[in-house]
């Protein structure tokens, strides 16, 4: 038998709806010509991924870890080597599949001896990660070099200590010679391992139709995608999903908004798991982001069509639903089904292939 809703609750819901009314008023989307759309994008932080190695260096090289052909080649070898995991079965590439979006396409990362991430976190994409200003879901690492050391040491991922990594690599005459050629030191250090992998990851940038459109090819993306791109620029998405990587530039609160009307379910056979979640989906894993304040590094949207399931715990399978959630809980103005289709069409243009740079 259903409980009656208290009059005070009804009043609160009504007040909330009135206050929130401006967010629910659907405004006409601005119509832009191709040139206007491109100019608006380029006038923000949106830029195409560089096509040449020299341009790549200007965009991503790290003064504390200068890139070189030899260092990049060494990093690539380490990235794919299972020697860096305790039982020699896992490599960086195990969870970051470059031909599948740069992640592992499962809700939670699986590591050493089949262990799942204890916070039910999935693997963020490594593609274009070098363009981001922070790494990991909570943004705790400043760059890809620092990030590279995390999974190697995590007991539920590769389960190694820096000392164990150094001992294994120093026992390999081949690796000792390669590291000496790159770093000019006789002994391999864990810091060198991080730097080599980081240098390689800085080359993992992707280009696609979106980049060609920004560079002047009007036919690179569809009319539907152009409408979606206009929505993305005009409705506020670009405020967080910024930069060449279309994300990864800041740590933001999620969700920004909640709605009292959703808690009416308390009286009507609620799903307790959802009611108790601080998110608009089940809080599998209980992760609360940076400083437990529901703050997350803004995900990189390049290749987002290939990096599902979505959100930190992989709670949402469909990209369309992820877009709806973001429009409602971050922008405060839930997109219509037609708008969602347009935005997804735009997000598809962010698919791309890893650029084969002519590395000097």
Q: Supply the residues annotated as catalytic.
A: 157
| Distance, CA of 322 to CA of 309 (rounded, Å) | 9
Question: What is the DSSP annotation of 53-96?
Answer: HHHHHHHH-BTTB---HHHHHHHHHHHT-GGGSTTS---HHHH-
Provide the greatest CA pair distance for the chain.
77
Say how far residue 83 (Cα) sits from the centre of its chain: 27
Q: Note whether 343 and 225 are within 8 A (CB).
A: no
Q: Note whether 180 and 187 are within 8 A (CB).
A: no
Q: Note whether 305 and 318 are within 8 A (CB).
A: no
- Crossing angle (nearest 10°) for helices 173-183 and 190-201: 70
Q: Which two tokens stand for residue 260?
A: 């009292």
**10, HSE (Cβ side, Cα atoms, 13 Å):** 4
| Phi and psi torsions of 107, nearest 5° | -60, -40
Q: What Rg value do the Cα atoms of the chain yield, rounded?
A: 23
């Amino acid at each position: 038998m259903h409980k009656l809703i208290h009059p005070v609750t009804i009043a609160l819901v009504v007040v909330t709806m009135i206050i929130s009314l401006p967010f629910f008023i659907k405004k006409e989307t601005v119509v832009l010509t191709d040139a206007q759309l491109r100019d608006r994008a380029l006038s923000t932080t949106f830029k195409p991924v560089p096509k040449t190695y020299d341009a790549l260096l200007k965009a991503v090289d790290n003064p504390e870890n200068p890139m070189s052909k030899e260092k990049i080649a060494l990093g690539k070898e380490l990235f794919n080597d299972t020697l860096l995991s305790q039982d020699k079965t896992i490599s960086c590439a195990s969870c970051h599949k470059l031909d599948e979006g740069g992640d592992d396409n499962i809700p939670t990362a699986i590591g050493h001896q089949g262990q799942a991430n204890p916070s039910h976190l999935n693997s963020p994409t490594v593609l274009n990660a070098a363009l981001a200003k922070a790494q990991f879901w909570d943004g705790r690492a400043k760059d890809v070099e620092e990030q590279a050391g995390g999974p190697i040491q995590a007991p539920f991922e590769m389960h190694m200590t820096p000392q164990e990594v150094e001992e294994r690599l120093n026992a390999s005459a081949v690796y000792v010679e390669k590291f000496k050629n790159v770093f000019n030191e006789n002994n391999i250090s864990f810091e060198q391992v991080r730097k080599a992998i980081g240098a390689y990851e800085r080359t993992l940038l992707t280009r696609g139709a979106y980049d060609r459109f920004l560079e002047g090819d009007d036919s690179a993306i569809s009319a539907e995608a152009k409408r979606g791109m206009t929505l993305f620029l005009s409705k506020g998405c670009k405020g967080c999903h910024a930069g060449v990587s279309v994300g990864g530039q800041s740590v933001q609160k999620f969700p920004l908004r909640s709605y009292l009307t959703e808690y009416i379910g308390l009286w009507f056979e609620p799903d307790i798991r959802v009611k108790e979640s601080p998110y608009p989906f089940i809080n599998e894993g209980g992760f609360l982001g940076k400083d437990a304040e529901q703050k997350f590094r803004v995900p990189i949207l390049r290749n987002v069509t290939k990096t599902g399931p979505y959100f930190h715990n992989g709670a949402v399978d469909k990209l369309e639903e992820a877009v709806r959630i973001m429009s409602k809980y971050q922008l405060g103005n839930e997109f219509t089904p037609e708008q969602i289709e347009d935005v997804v069409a735009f997000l598809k243009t962010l698919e791309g292939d890893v650029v084969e740079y002519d590395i000097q």
